[in-house]
């Protein structure tokens, strides 16, 4: 815990103040995580307590081992779709072996220091994947708003949406109509709170307010709607591997699913960690250490019969905004989830399913970020937008892995004009008090790990001269990396001189 308890650079804060701020932040993250853990489990087609177990492991275990101290791990909406399909096609018993194998793959990837390669995945692919997942969550959880179950595919859910609305009857208020009212109240309370909440309560999450409003309405009026079902004891929610467990690893579909989960979970985690690094000036992420921690977490989730986990940007950003200083906040939030589930399971059973579905509909909608597509078009031209849109459409129309592979395939088109010269030369040398880095050749996602490692080695607080005079071209993935690095260095007050950035994407970087 030595690293965890070290102060942010340039900030002198007594250890007791660490504990106070981390304690406050942990409660905020706990309040954000509780409804999301249960809602994501339901969206994945499994009981809500499975999501809570993942949240507990993600907080206590991964929080203690993480390479990104302020990142919070738990069940993620990004994997809900793929888990739903796995449980539907192979049964819940296959999920444990899949997660154990996926976790082992992540640990091995971290040991062999492959974390940097996940950063080479195009931002257009990642955001297109998240947007596609958002669409699938919205069209799937839309049916939960009516106390109905999602259908087997995204297109089927989409086609059935008009029928749900047209089937409502104000003169015959049955379960579907009552559940829909609860869902509308939940969404209304959540959005209203986020828009007009008082400054003194700015850290109170809107998702919690929405769930509380929907639950109070249900209890006060005695509405006959479906509610969350959780076991009386948290230990009863743990399902250890069944007999014949190892034999499942001989099934090619299990191996393929494990590779897919390991790949997608790692990419989402490390990109989330990079986003968290932009939010604070403390310890930077050790990507390989984070990968190993996530692997151990998924190994444990597989052994306990829970959901897969990733680093989650919603909870992580809440953690940073609430003033967290060390990893103690993430660990404590897992402790609070464990205590709540162990001591107050009866309270969870009062929550309407429609309220959790409503929270996920809003969460899914926010994943569909058209703002990012506009940013890609403005700064990098039409091809990245095509990659983003193609990934989104294929995720919705086929499945998650196919969409990601199509997006990565389209990313290769950016290499076509530079096939004869894909080499990137990187020179480092001190020039007095300045650290000079010169780039020569073509900067693409193929050479991104090499460039990223070079930039990360630059000492904090030391002036930098980045010479791109001999840089022939840069793709949008590398341009995004350079832009984020430049912004972070300049935001910390460190002078950065960019030589040769006078045209195209390089001009955008210069500004």
Question: How confident is the prediction for the chain on average, in pLDDT?
Answer: 86
Q: Using one digit for the tens of pLDDT, what is the confidence trace for 466-484?
A: 888 888 888 888 888 888 8
**What percent of the chain has a predicted confidence (pLDDT) above 90?**
37
pLDDT reading at 504 higher than 60: no
For residue 282, give Cα distances in angstroms to 305, 417, 438.
35, 40, 27
pLDDT for the residue 506: 61
What is the pLDDT at residue 432? 79
Which pLDDT value is given to residue 384? 93
81 contacts 137 by C-beta, under 8 angstroms: yes
For residue 459, give the DSSP letter.
Answer: P
How far are the Cα atoms of 48, 102, 384 from residue 376, in angstroms, in the given order?
A: 37, 32, 6
- Residue bearing tokens 């888990």: 83
Question: How far is residue 423's CA from residue 435's CA, in Å, rounded to a whole number?
Answer: 23
Name the more confident of 280 and 115. 115
CA–CA gap between residue 167 and residue 336 (Å, rounded): 41
**C-alpha span between 136 and 144 (Å, rounded):** 13
CA 36 to chain centre: 12
Which residues are registered as beta bridge partners of 352? 227
Per residue in 484-496, is it b (16+ CB within 10 Å) or e — as a string?
bbbebbeeeebeb
Residue 363 has pLDDT above 80, yes or no: yes
Instruction: State the average pLDDT over residues 486-500.
Output: 81
Structural tokens at position 284: 């930077």
CA distances to 72, 208, 212, 332, 382 from 24, in Å: 15, 16, 21, 10, 44
Question: How many residues belong to the chain?
Answer: 511
Residues whose CB falls within 8 Å of the CB of residue 64, separated by 6 or more in sequence, listed in order: 327, 331
Q: What is the pLDDT of residue 146?
A: 93
Give the pLDDT score at 503: 54
pLDDT greater than 50 at residue 4: no
Determine the pLDDT at residue 7: 41
Cα Rg for the chain, rounded, in angstroms? 23
Stated pTM of the model: 0.82
From the list 84, 256, 506, 488, the residue with the least C-alpha distance to 75 is 84
Q: Give the span between the Cα atoms of 155 and 135, in whole angstroms.
A: 10
> Domain 424-510 - what CATH class?
alpha beta
Please tell me the distance from the alpha carbon of residue 510 to that of residue 498, in angstroms, as a whole number. Answer: 6
Please tell me the predicted confidence (pLDDT) of residue 203. 81
Q: Is the dihedral of CA 377, 380, 382, 384 positive or negative?
A: negative
- Note the Cα 206 to chain centre separation in Å: 18
At 291-344, the pLDDT tens digits run 999 999 999 999 999 999 999 888 888 888 888 889 999 999 999 999 999 988
List, for residues 104-135, the tens digit of each pLDDT value: 999 999 999 988 888 788 889 988 988 888 89
Decide: residue 43, CB within 10 A, 0-12 exposed, 13-18 middle, 19+ buried: buried
Scan for tokens 């101290």, then name that residue.
69
Query: What percent of the chain stands above pLDDT 70?
Result: 94
- Domain coordinates of the chain in residue numbers? 15-348, 424-510
């Amino acid at each position: 815990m030595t690293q965890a308890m070290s102060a942010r650079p340039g900030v002198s804060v007594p250890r007791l103040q660490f504990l106070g701020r981390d304690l406050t932040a942990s409660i905020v993250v706990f309040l954000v995580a509780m409804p999301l853990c249960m809602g994501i489990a339901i969206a994945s087609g499994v009981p809500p307590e499975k999501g809570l177990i993942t949240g507990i492991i993600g907080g206590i275990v991964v929080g203690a081992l993480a390479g990104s101290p302020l990142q919070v791990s738990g069940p993620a909406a990004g994997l809900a779709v793929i888990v739903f399909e796995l449980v539907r096609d192979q049964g819940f018993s296959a999920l444990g072996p899949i997660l154990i194998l996926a976790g082992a793959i992540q640990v091995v990837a971290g040991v062999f220091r492959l974390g940097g390669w996940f950063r080479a995945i195009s931002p257009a692919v990642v955001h297109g994947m998240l947007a596609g997942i958002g669409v699938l969550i919205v069209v799937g959880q839309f049916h939960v708003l009516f106390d109905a179950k999602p259908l087997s595919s995204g297109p089927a859910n989409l086609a059935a949406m008009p029928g749900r609305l047209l089937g409502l009857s104000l003169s015959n208020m049955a379960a579907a109509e009552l559940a829909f009212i609860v869902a509308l109240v939940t969404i209304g309370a959540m959005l209203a709170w986020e828009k007009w909440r008082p400054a003194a309560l700015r850290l109170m999450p809107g998702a919690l307010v929405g769930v509380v409003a929907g639950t109070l309405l249900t209890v006060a009026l005695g509405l006959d709607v479906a509610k969350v079902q959780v076991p009386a004891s948290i230990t009863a929610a743990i399902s250890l591997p069944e007999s014949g467990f190892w034999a499942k690893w001989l099934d090619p579909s299990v191996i393929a699913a494990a590779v897919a989960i390991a790949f997608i979970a790692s990419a989402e985690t490390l990109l989330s960690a990079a986003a968290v690094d932009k939010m604070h000036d403390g310890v930077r992420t050790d990507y390989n250490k984070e990968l190993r921690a996530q692997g151990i977490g998924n190994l444990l989730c597989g052994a306990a019969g829970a959901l897969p986990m990733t680093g989650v940007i919603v909870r992580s950003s809440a953690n940073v905004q609430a003033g967290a200083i060390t990893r103690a906040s993430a660990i404590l939030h897992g402790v609070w989830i464990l205590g709540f589930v162990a001591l107050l399971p009866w309270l969870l059973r009062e929550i309407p399913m429609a309220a959790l579905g409503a929270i996920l509909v809003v969460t899914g909608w926010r994943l569909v970020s058209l703002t990012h597509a506009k940013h890609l078009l403005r700064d990098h031209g039409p091809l990245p937008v095509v990659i983003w849109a193609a990934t989104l459409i294929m995720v919705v129309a086929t499945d998650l892995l196919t969409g990601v592979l199509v997006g990565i395939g389209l990313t290769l088109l950016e290499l076509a004009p530079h096939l004869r010269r894909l080499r990137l030369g990187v020179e480092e040398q001190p020039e007095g008090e300045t650290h000079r880095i010169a780039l020569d050749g073509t900067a693409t996602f193929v050479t991104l790990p090499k460039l990223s490692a070079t930039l990360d080695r630059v000492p904090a607080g030391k002036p930098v001269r980045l010479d791109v005079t001999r840089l022939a071209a840069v793709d949008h993935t590398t341009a995004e990396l350079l832009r984020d690095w430049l912004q972070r260095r300049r935001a910390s007050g460190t002078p950065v001189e960019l030589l040769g950035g006078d045209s195209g994407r390089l001009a955008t970087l210069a500004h």
